[in-house]
Amino acid sequence: MEFHNHKEKVLIIDFGSQVTKLIARRIRELGVYSEILTPKNFNKLKRFYNVKGVILSGGPSSVTSTKFPRISKEIFKKNIPVLGICYGLQLIAKIFGGKIKPSKKRREFGRAILFKKRSSLLTRKYLITKKSVWMSHEDAVVKLPKSFKVVASTKDSKLTIIENTKKKIYGVQFHPEVTHTDNGNIIFKNFLFPICKIKKKWNIKSQTKRLIEEIKETVKQDKVICALSGGVDSSVVALLINKAIKKNLICIMVDTGLMRKNEFKYTYKIFKKKYKLNVKLINASRHFFNKLKNISNPEKKRKIIGNLFIEIFEKESRKYKNIKFLAQGTLYPDIIESKSSTGSKTSKIKSHHNVGGLPRKMNLRLIEPLKEFFKDEVRIIGNSLGLVKDINLKHPFPGPGLGIRIVGNVTPEKIKILQEADFIFINELIKSGLYKKIWQAYAALLPIKTVGVMGDSRTYENICLLRAVISEDGMTADYFNFPKKFVDNISNKIINNVKGVNRVVYDITSKPPSTIELE
């Protein structure tokens, strides 16, 4: 997939690493446009117009096996700088005649200290002190390919950074893209500017104008429909398309009854009154509660919510004539994941709720103006469109909503309790300035009651679980370390104000092994 109209760019070839997306983000954070391609699609590329650098990602394969993912050697003849990371380095070494050894026994995993062997453009201003870098590999390059030099080593691997300055090929065994590597961005900076000589600085704000023009060109006089939830993605999509085609955008808000407290009313007011969008609100909560009655299996709940949503949205949209397009807030990570190439077939952990079945069913064409962007980039676009801060900075929220934050069967009464607890939690986070530091936070209800004592009487009520995680992309996450004062206060506030809860617990698991949501 190629997005047009980008000047200089860096291509990242994805060999299946869990953190390839982070490479793209790091590059973009440095003001350079980057795209991720599968090795197969990369090998099909005929023209390298505007490609100023190529990065080969890490991956689970081994170049010592008989079959392993590779790229054609052509790229090394084009005078385009190449940086290999982990598997990428091993592949470079293999292609140029080095020796790689599978070292099952001596894996290097975790932090390692770098020792400088020679100066290099890649490590300019980097190897001044001994840096701690993040390693995660079994195979290691044991013999340097001819015409390459060693820039740095660690205690366990001699060839940790290598280079061939004449051909502008570089390789690092560690992962500069992860935060565990000290100042990894210096490596990327050195690669992009002195090595790839990229001058043009890309910035997301300037993309807004282009996106609006592209929407105008695509849609012309036709009508577009979109499901507006009040989350960041659908809100930015709605504002963008509205800027392009005004009233020809029809926004449908389906209130499932599974949203956070006041969220739908507030979103409706903002979009209808403030932005003057063509918004239709449908209250469907009764249908959702009816269908969810006595259902406690998480997958069943997800399917019921997803299907009913589609049914209602479709029925409503049939009332409008001449709709040709369906707008969706698909983001770049969604596309990369669905195109994951290198055979690392990750098992389906949960069925995600989206309106993916709709376009085919309704014979609509899709427009996905955000499909080139990461979440934080979408927020920058939102900001440039004047999207109100409390929507623009909102944490991610799953499609099935509170339906999967009530473990077990869902009832309107439980939703009410949960909405109150969640409202208090989120407000306290905002008040204390912690909200922005956290990737995602929410309250959930567990399907067990426990005994408590309030005043002089015994209580037997629900457990409210609080979850707050830090993450870069939702793929992995760590629980947030709250100051004790905050935890004490929040527990008191929830118990004193939410009838039906007599115990508050905090989830201290990371992802993996847990997921961010409970179901």
Shortest distance, CB of residue 431 to ligand XMP, whole angstroms?
23
What mask, x for binding ligand XMP by CB under 6 A, covers residues 337 to 376? -------------x-xx-----------------------
- Contact between 32 and 193 (Cβ < 8 Å): no
Nearer to ligand XMP, 39 or 369 (CB): 369
Nearer to ligand XMP, 47 or 348 (CB): 348
Q: How many angstroms from the chain centroid is the CA of residue 186?
A: 23
Shortest distance, CB of residue 231 to ligand XMP, whole angstroms?
8
Task: Considering only residues 268 through 297, tell me which ones interact with ligand XMP, judged by CB under 6 A.
Answer: none
**3-class DSSP state for residue 1?**
coil
Active site residue 395: no
Of the listed pieces 186-194, 204-212, 332-340, 394-402, which binds ligand XMP according to CB under 6 A? Answer: 394-402
What token pair was written down for 86? 């982990």
DSSP string of 449-518, one letter each residue: EEEEEETTEEEEEEEEEEEEEE-SSSSSBEE----HHHHHHHHHHHHHH-TTEEEEEE----BTTS-SS-
Shortest distance, CB of residue 509 to ligand XMP, whole angstroms?
11
Active site residue 175: yes
Handedness of CA 6, 10, 15, 16 (dihedral sign): negative
Of the listed pieces 3-11, 109-117, 480-488, 509-517, which binds ligand XMP according to CB under 6 A? Answer: 509-517
DSSP string of 306-318, one letter each residue: HHHHHHHHHHHHT
Residue 487 makes CB contacts below 8 A (sequence gap 6+) with: 506
β-strands 149-153, 161-164 pairing: antiparallel
Of the listed pieces 43-51, 260-268, 398-406, 457-465, which binds ligand XMP according to CB under 6 A? Answer: 398-406
Of the listed pieces 81-89, 119-127, 358-366, 396-404, which binds ligand XMP according to CB under 6 A? Answer: 396-404
Interface with ligand XMP, residue 157, by CB under 6 A: no
Interface with ligand XMP, residue 180, by CB under 6 A: no
Interface with ligand XMP, residue 199, by CB under 6 A: no
Reference 177, options 120, 136, 139; nearest CA is 136
Shortest distance, CB of residue 352 to ligand XMP, whole angstroms?
4
Shortest distance, CB of residue 508 to ligand XMP, whole angstroms?
15
DSSP state for residue 157 in the 8-state scheme:
-
Among 356, 359, 396, 408, binds ligand XMP (CB under 6 A): 396
Shortest distance, CB of residue 195 to ligand XMP, whole angstroms?
35
Alpha carbon distance 274, 102 (integer Å): 61
Shortest distance, CB of residue 396 to ligand XMP, whole angstroms?
4
Q: Identify the active-site residue in 8, 108, 163, 175.
A: 175
What is the SS3 string spanning 169-224?
EEEECCCCCCCCCCCHHHHHHHHHHHHCCCCCCCCCCCHHHHHHHHHHHHHCCCEE
Shortest distance, CB of residue 436 to ligand XMP, whole angstroms?
16
Binding-site size for ligand XMP (CB under 6 A) equals 13
Nearer to ligand XMP, 131 or 353 (CB): 353
Q: Identify the active-site residue in 177, 372, 377, 472.
A: 177
Alpha carbon distance 336, 60 (integer Å): 17
Among 84, 399, 401, 403, binds ligand XMP (CB under 6 A): 399
Task: Considering only residues 407 through 466, tell me which ones interact with ligand XMP, judged by CB under 6 A.
Answer: 440
Interface with ligand XMP, residue 234, by CB under 6 A: no
Active site residue 163: no
Alpha carbon distance 283, 286 (integer Å): 8
Alpha carbon distance 352, 516 (integer Å): 13
Among 84, 230, 298, 398, binds ligand XMP (CB under 6 A): 398
In our burial notation (b when 16+ CB lie closer than 10 A, e otherwise), range 301-317 reads bbebbbebbbebbeebb
Q: What are the catalytic residues?
A: 86, 175, 177
Q: Which residues bind ligand XMP (CB under 6 A)?
A: 350, 352-353, 396, 398-400, 440, 474, 511, 515-517
